[in-house]
Amino acid sequence: MAPQKPGHLTYADVTPKSVYLDRRKFLRGVGITAIAAFAGKRLYDVAVPSPSVQAGTKLTTIKGPFSTDEKINTFDVVSHYNNFYEFGVDKEQPAKNAQKFVTSPWTVAVSGEVAKPRKFSIDEILKLAPLEERIYRHRCVEGWSIVVPWIGFSFSTLAKLVEPTAKARFVAFESYYDPSQMPLGREAGIALPYVEGLRLDEAMHPLALLCVGMYGETLPNQDGAPVRMILPWKYGFKSIKSLVKIRFVKDQPDSTWNLYAPREYGFYSNVNPEVDHPRWSQARERRLPEFFKSHKTLMFNGYGDQVASLYTGLDLRKNY
Ligand code: MTE
């Protein structure tokens, strides 16, 4: 599955077919928005969930910034070697167990220290901005890495719409959790729903991707459908999947792996080859599907030029 060729596109071109073809649903949305405005209701209360987006729907993309020219992994590797503990703790389990995961309709609620709290349906998210293809390195804390043509746009695009207030200093993210669809979650050993957090300036950095697809299509369920975060300068566990809640908050929020083992997984979790995990070295990594750690791990996973300035004055050995 080759990545789409970038080109000069109009807004209509970058709107997924499944979205713009569904005119009736669009008109219903417009109608409800108008009624809400008339009734003085906030959009937060009336987002229209739409069932039109399924895993594997083709997306039209433009070329985004920050792409690496390293060799892209195959779709097969990226969609069959996953961490998604809600669907099992072994790497092959999510691909098998997430097949029936119901991801539509889907809404993401954005609340907290914002002037305009709001719920976004996945269709609304797909239309917020032209969808960019960004080829990022993705490095897991366990020592493996992959190169993936993700699709999405900067998280800041969505954040600006809700207008974070001066009190917002962090962003808290929460994944969907339904034990009836995710029975293995009970045996995962971590607290669920999965939660993660970023400092506001990290979340607003243009590299921070609100991701809705990969390899020219909407995300496979096991890769975090229908919408997830991708933070390429941080260990993979910061890149939370299947997002349903985003809260702008004053205080540093919890993060699942930090709660599980604070000595092993810090809040920042920037990729740092000089700070070993208490149980293994982080100096090298294996690029899937390789078996040996033949790649040197780079500071900030190679994105130092973009993000190092976010951490001026912060001791990155203490704040791992
Ligand atoms: N998000 C949720 N909801 N549940 C998870 O178990 N695992 C994290 C992160 N996001 C996880 C999650 C970890 S440990 C990693 S390394 C990445 O997802 C893996 O992303 P990938 O499977 O797309 O490579």
Q: Is the CB of 239 under 6 A from ligand 1?
A: yes
Per-residue CA distances from 23 to 27, 30, 49 (Å): 6, 10, 14
Residue at 137 is within a domain: yes
DSSP string, 2-46: PPPPP----HHHHS-HHHHT-HHHHHHHHHHHHHHHHHT--GGGT
Each of the 320 residues of the chain gets a pLDDT tens digit; together they read 333 333 323 223 333 333 333 333 433 433 433 444 444 444 333 344 344 578 889 999 999 999 999 999 999 999 999 999 999 999 999 999 999 999 999 999 999 999 999 999 999 999 999 999 999 999 999 999 999 999 999 999 999 999 999 999 999 999 999 999 999 999 999 999 999 999 999 999 999 999 999 999 999 999 999 999 999 999 999 999 999 999 999 999 999 999 999 999 999 999 999 999 999 999 999 999 999 999 999 999 999 999 999 999 999 999 99
Among protein residues, the one whose CA lies closest to atom 18 of ligand 1 = 237
Q: Is the CB of 83 under 6 A from ligand 1?
A: yes
Q: 197: domain CATH number?
A: 3.90.420.10
pTM reported for the whole predicted model = 0.86
Residue at 318 is within a domain: no
Q: Is the CB of 175 under 6 A from ligand 1?
A: yes
For 152, left (φ over 0), alpha (ψ -120 to 50), or beta? left
Residue at 319 is within a domain: no
Residues present in the chain in total: 320
Q: Is the CB of 257 under 6 A from ligand 1?
A: no
Residue at 39 is within a domain: yes
Residue at 306 is within a domain: yes
Residue at 183 is within a domain: yes
Q: Is the CB of 232 under 6 A from ligand 1?
A: no
Count structural domains, the chain: 1
Residue at 317 is within a domain: no
Q: Is the CB of 140 under 6 A from ligand 1?
A: yes
* Residue 97: domain span: 11-311
Closest residue by Cα to residue 294 from 285, 307, 303, 302: 285
Q: Is the CB of 155 under 6 A from ligand 1?
A: no
Query: What whole-number distance in Å separates Cα of residue 49 and Cα of residue 31?
Result: 14
Atom of ligand 1 nearest to the CA of 78: 24
Residue at 205 is within a domain: yes
State which of 237, 256, 277 you would mutate to test the pocket of ligand 1, scoring each by most atoms of that ligand within 8 A of its C-beta. 237
